[in-house]
């Protein structure tokens, strides 16, 4: 129902302003006393908040002691995906840095000692203050070396330098190996033969029907989201 707009001219009481000022102070005082003496509703959803006497209007989440749950589609902070030998899957191809619209990724490439073929990042830095959490770096990576599946929010800090995450801080989480990883398909001097055999045995097949994002990034897939949307539309039409 549309709002009814009252376009009548102001009466004498309203033109004097002082009665309206007193009414405003009364409303403000009522909210202040109610929030002061009654318990706070911990539900941050304003639509589900009960109203009335004896209930506080204050629903501020006391962060970081209290944290609102993130939705299932929230991806979270970056992480560099490790291999089973502890090294980063990143091959310093600069695809993520090139795709980043905020230019918040800085990489310096270097050769792996004793390996004339393999290349790895010597420096890998992400400025979380500049990041717009678009996920283009995840989609651009050809080696599934960077993910946004931590489900974590950037921690608060008082210094700007604390939001500059380096390689040591980003390299974490469960390791990933695929059968078509180049360091497993060739004789890589940087990996001992026994360790390479163990990595090959634990490597999982690379899906041939999906993109990197669809196949390897859990919790966020364009194809899955599209299928879910189509299923909801079909149920709505059927119902």
pLDDT in tens, 209-226: 555 444 444 444 556 656
Whether the per-residue pLDDT at 46 is higher than 80: the answer is: no
Domains of the chain and CATH, by start: 9-69 (no CATH), 79-220 (3.30.70.3270)
Whether the per-residue pLDDT at 140 is higher than 50: the answer is: yes
Whether the per-residue pLDDT at 207 is higher than 60: the answer is: no
Compute the distance between CA of residue 6 and CA of residue 105 in angstroms, rounded to an integer: 55
Give 81: exposed, middle or buried? Use CB within 10 Å, 0-12, 13-18, 19+. buried
Whether the per-residue pLDDT at 63 is higher than 90: the answer is: no
What is the rounded average pLDDT of the residues 129-141? Answer: 89
Q: Are the CB atoms for 172 and 79 separated by under 8 Å?
A: yes
Percent share of the chain, pLDDT over 70? 79
pLDDT of residue 34: 78
Q: Per-residue confidence at 2, pLDDT binned at 50, 70, 90? A: low
pLDDT in tens, 73-108: 777 888 999 988 889 999 999 999 999 999 999 999
Least confident of 32-41, 75-84, 165-174, 217-226: 217-226
Compute the distance between CA of residue 107 and CA of residue 94 in angstroms, rounded to an integer: 7
CA distances from 183 to 40, 83, 92, 102 (A): 57, 10, 14, 31
Least confident of 64-68, 87-91, 117-121: 64-68
Q: For residue 162, how many other CB atoms are within 10 A of its CB?
A: 13
Quick check: bond before 214 cis, omega within 30? no
């Amino acid at each position: 129902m549309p709002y009814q707009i009252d376009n009548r001219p102001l009466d004498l009481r309203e033109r004097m302003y002082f009665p309206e000022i007193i009414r405003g102070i009364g409303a403000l005082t009522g909210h202040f006393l109610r929030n002061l003496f009654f318990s706070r509703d911990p539900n941050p959803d304003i639509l589900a908040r009960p109203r009335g006497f004896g209930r506080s209007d204050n629903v501020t989440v006391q962060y970081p002691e209290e944290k609102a749950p993130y939705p299932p589609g929230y991806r979270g902070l970056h992480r560099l995906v490790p291999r089973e030998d502890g090294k980063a899957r990143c091959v310093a191809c600069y695809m993520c840095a090139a795709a980043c619209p905020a230019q918040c990724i800085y990489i310096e490439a270097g050769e792996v000692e004793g390996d004339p073929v393999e290349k790895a990042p010597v420096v890998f830095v992400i400025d979380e203050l500049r990041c717009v959490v678009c996920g283009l770096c995840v989609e651009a990576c050809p080696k599934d070396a960077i993910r946004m599946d931590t489900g974590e929010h950037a921690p608060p800090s008082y210094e700007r330098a604390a939001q500059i995450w380096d390689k040591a801080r980003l390299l974490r989480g469960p390791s990933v190996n695929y059968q078509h990883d180049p360091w497993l398909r060739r004789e890589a001097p940087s990996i001992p033969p026994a360790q390479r055999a163990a990595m090959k045995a634990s490597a999982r097949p690379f899906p041939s029907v999906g993109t990197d994002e669809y196949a390897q990034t859990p919790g966020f897939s364009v194809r899955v989201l599209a299928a879910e949307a189509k299923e909801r539309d079909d149920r709505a039409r059927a119902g």
